[in-house]
Copies of this chain bind each other. A is one copy, B any other.
Amino acid sequence: MAVRAAVAGASGYAGGEVLRLLLGHPSMEIGALTGNANAGQPLGALQPQLLPLADRVLEPTSAGVLAGHDVVFLALPHGQSAAVAEQLGDGVLIVDCGADFRLGSAAEWERYYGSPHAGTWPYGLPELPGAREALAGTRRVAVPGCYPTAVTLALFPAYAAGLVEPEAVIVAASGTSGAGRSLKPHLLGSEVMGSLSPYGVGGVHRHTPEMAQNLSAVAGERVTISFTPTLAPMPRGILATCSARARPGVTAATVRETYAKALAGEPFVRLLPEGRWPTTAAVVGSNAALVQVALDEAAGRVIAISAIDNLTKGTAGGAVQSMNIALGLAEDLGLSTIGVAP
């Protein structure tokens, strides 16, 4: 019997990607689709790539419309999820692609988001130690941010094994879909093409405390993050270049073995063979995270690089993967490790 899903925020990029994945998921049936500014429009006018849903009409986002489904995906602006969740009640699985329930620390939340903390839900990064157990059977999932997904997958093996010091330096570039579909001057195609532009420099990006939270948890000590995000001239993809000072005695062989062991068996994270490096093109539309790691002996640093599709593994794929676990389905249902390239 099909699991019935609603998607709130179906006109945005995250919502569209959730729908793309649900269309290919053998156990799912797509129910209500909502969007506030675009309510009343057919999806074909907004997500022309989703032909099978072209004639479906968006409804306004409300608990009434979203009720009566087994799963509700929320792809809403920050701050709106709590109210919806409360109205929907405990019987429904809510998978929140927004930030509201990601951080455990109310203080950090308030510092970075400037609003009251809504709470904390099980965190939808199954690859983290203990995460699958927390997700199994849950009715609430906080899908990680796209940058934290890329960065955590690149660095958690190093921190779990104590290979590096607790100060990580991260420079990550994202395709423009990571900034969403809102109309902002710097997101115009004429501005974006041919340009790399940093933003949120100096530790102010909201994904910073989320990365610190994840890595601190596996490290067992507080990890400090220096994070610089960049907008890159491509629609999809994140390349995260992460490094930290190697602890004394760490060798290239140790690093490689540690990563190989930590990532072994993960269905969606792949440590590449030596000599190959992740590229974002290889994961477009795929739920895979490609990881490679090196020890720079002269600089004394471990360099870990990951590539994901920000909309797939970084948002909607992570959401579906977590949903599968929460519902007791096979974790990889509806997801693939095959990218659309070139």
A283 CB within 8 Å of chain B:
yes
A296–B230 touching, CB < 8 Å: no
Determine the main DSSP class of A at the interface with B.
Answer: mixed
- Most B CB within 10 A of own CB, among A13, A195, A224: A195
Please judge, given known A-B contacts A185-B181, A285-B340, whether A195 and B237 are in contact too, CB under 8 Å.
yes
A203–B44 touching, CB < 8 Å: no
A235–B13 touching, CB < 8 Å: no
* Total A residues in contact with B, Cβ cutoff 8 Å: 94
Cβ–Cβ < 8 Å partners of A42 in chain B: 273
* Contact of A342 (CB < 8 Å), options: B177, B202, B208, B228: B177
Alpha-carbon gap, A336 to B42, bound state (A): 20
A192–B194 touching, CB < 8 Å: no
* Contact of A292 (CB < 8 Å), options: B23, B50, B201, B208: B201
A140 CB within 8 Å of chain B:
no
A299–B181 touching, CB < 8 Å: no
Within 8 A of B (CB), among A172-200: 173, 175-177, 179, 181, 183-185, 187-199
A232–B235 touching, CB < 8 Å: no
B338–A52 touching, CB < 8 Å: yes
Cβ–Cβ < 8 Å partners of A292 in chain B: 201
* Distance from A110 Cβ to chain B, minimum over Cβ atoms (Å): 15
Cβ–Cβ < 8 Å partners of A243 in chain B: 169, 226, 228
Alpha-carbon gap, A198 to B194, bound state (A): 18
A270 CB within 8 Å of chain B:
yes
Question: Which of A70-78, A213-221, A301-309, A321-329 sits within the interface?
Answer: A301-309
Cβ–Cβ < 8 Å partners of A230 in chain B: 173, 239, 241
Cβ–Cβ < 8 Å partners of A203 in chain B: 296-299
* Contact of A188 (CB < 8 Å), options: B176, B194, B299: B176
A43 CB within 8 Å of chain B:
no
